[in-house]
Amino acid sequence: MNQRTTPYKMWHQSMTELEGLGAYRDFLIAHANSMLGQSATVQVEGVRAGSYHGRTPTSALGNAFVYHRVLDQIIDNAIHAERNGFDAFVIGSFSEPFLREIRSAVNIPVIGILESSMLVSCSLGKKIAPIANAPEISFIVQSAVEKHGLQERVLQSVSLDPPMHEAEMVAAGKPPKPVIEAFSRAALNAITHHGADVIIPAEAVLATLVIANQIKTLHGAPVVDVIAVAWRYAVMMIELKERCGLGVSRVGSYAQSDPALIDLMVR
């Protein structure tokens, strides 16, 4: 078997308009370099500028119509990524928009940040507590957990108190004391009152702040670096595909009975 000599290429799809969140994008790029070394490169992309018409993703995506209309663009991004030589497509949102549709459209591994972090967390503890930044995101996270059938292992998603949107969290300072204190309170409550033994920061901007501030355990419970897990999970899936021929099923949920029709539907 020939050994690959070039790094894997991964597309990381954020659901934010990155033009207004430069520090967030810079952190993702630096974290990718730290976590992946020479094994893979990560290209970080957001949604088109103006997609939210001046609203924050948290405030906008709680509406099902807005969610569909804004995020359907990432299906085309995944197809574009595959056709331009990317080895994996990482959906960097805990709502995992159009995960089924994207896996049905492309043949490269498609990694959901929620799915990968929850599956890894199942090897770290019995009960997993996702903590989002606001109630709108907690609702979306809970819906995604139910789609994956993980309710037996994953506790009801909760949010920070008080809730915080993306721009508020980014502007919270260095260190972002209000964010970290609210996250720690929610984690303690989940551990002491609901039996949680693994903590998930269940929103991408929130996760970067938790990671950047080196919060790896709280009250004895591991706090999962969900971003690193998604990328390393992607590397695993790429290598399983290349070395073992293991790929996504083409019957059932991810059936692809007419690839020619997919080509005709690409925008």
Domain range summary for the chain, segments of one domain joined by +:
8-113+227-265, 115-226
Prediction pTM value: 0.94
Q: What CATH code is assigned to 115-226?
A: 3.40.50.12500
CB 84 within 8 A of CB 108: no
* Predicted local confidence at residue 267, as pLDDT: 76
Q: Which residues contact 204 (CB under 8 A, 6 or more apart)?
A: 14, 15, 16, 92, 93, 94, 113, 226, 227
Q: Do domains 8-113+227-265 and 115-226 have the same CATH topology?
A: yes
**For 28-37, what is each residue's pLDDT tens digit?**
999 999 999 9
- Give yes or no for residue 1 having a pLDDT over 60: no
- Please provide the average confidence, as pLDDT, over all residues in the chain: 94
Axis-axis angle for helices 22-36, 226-244 (nearest 10) = 50
Backbone angles phi, psi at 89, to 5 degrees: -125, 120
Fold assignment, 8-113+227-265: Rossmann fold (3.40.50)
User: CA-CA distance, 41 to 221, in Å (whole number)?
Assistant: 30
Specify whether the CB–CB gap between 117 and 224 falls below 8 A. yes
- The pLDDT-based confidence of 170 (bands split at 50, 70, 90) is confident
pLDDT class of 172 with cuts at 50, 70, 90: confident
Give the mean pLDDT of 21-26. 86
Q: Tell me the sheet residues that pair with 130.
A: 200
